[in-house]
Amino acid sequence: MKTVDLNCDLGEGFGAWEMGNDAAMIDLATSVNIACGFHAGDADIMRRTVDLAKARGVSIGAHPGYRDLHGFGRRPVPGMKASEIENLVAYQIGALQAIATAAGHKVTHVKAHGALSNVACEDDMTAKAIASAIRAVDPNLVFVVLANSKLVQAGEAANLPMVHEVFADRAYEDDGSLVSRRKPGAVLHDPKEIADRVVRMVQDGAVVSVTGKVIKMRTDTVCIHGDTPGAVEIGQSIRQALKAAKIEVKPFKVNS
């Protein structure tokens, strides 16, 4: 039987402002990535999200991004040195590790957020800096990488355990990169269309680009964005479709 992990980005509110339905999404996911205060989240939201994950037996990972609360971490920050990116990522991992320890839970993986991830997928320096930060904090942390990107090469060079990720609700370009959110059609919204797409991704080990090109991609984990409108319905539809296709949803297996 084929298996796949479902991951979700959570804890992305700030103060009194809430983003998405974290409690409902945790029930659908087998791993979650928690904002660490730079693109979203704060100490209280981090703690609540960790507590939810612990109660449901869901693994947690740090979701570090650029320091950009106004832009939700989706705007590149040009001109940063490698050492600055390393410190940026290490700081955020450490923040979640402290909250998780206080809650009696443990951080098991790291997945870069938004523009930081997008830049790293194409820029060697940024990708290597993220991997170096993870290795410096804890070389046993699993690096969640976008399949077929520079992040994979950086993770291999740093000798980090890795899992390869595809996106349920994002469109792909012909080169395997994600379609920019600035373009129409970049984010998908139809639950059935997304669910059918995820089943094909897992069964075929491939994604289909906006022009219909089939791109082979290792599929260890599938991301459902918690901030996408209708995320809960999308997640429920994916779970139902995977079950119907006899694909088991379970935490990812680590492949170095």
88-102, 151-165, 190-204, 242-256: which has the minimum mean pLDDT?
242-256
What is the pLDDT at residue 157?
A: 98
- pLDDT exceeds 70 at position 131: yes
Cα–Cα distance, 216 to 213 (Å, whole number): 10
Domains of the chain: 3-249 (3.20.20.370)
Q: Token pair for residue 54?
A: 């612990």
- pLDDT exceeds 50 at position 81: yes
> Of all residues in the chain, what percent carry a pLDDT higher than 90?
91
What would the mean pLDDT of 127-141 be, rounded to a whole number? 98
- pLDDT exceeds 80 at position 255: no
> Of all residues in the chain, what percent carry a pLDDT higher than 70?
99
What would the mean pLDDT of 156-169 be, rounded to a whole number? 96
Which band of pLDDT confidence, cut at 50, 70 and 90, is reported for residue 246? very high
What is the pLDDT at residue 256?
A: 45
- Our CA angle for 15, 19, 20, nearest 5°, is 145
Cβ(63)–Cβ(117) under 8 Å? Answer: no
What would the mean pLDDT of 157-169 be, rounded to a whole number? 96
- For 109-126, the pLDDT digits (tens) are 999 999 999 999 999 999
- For 222-234, the pLDDT digits (tens) are 999 888 888 999 9
What is the pLDDT at residue 253?
A: 73
Cα–Cα distance, 132 to 129 (Å, whole number): 5
Nearest to 60 by CA among 202, 242, 253, 251: 251
Cβ(147)–Cβ(219) under 8 Å? Answer: yes
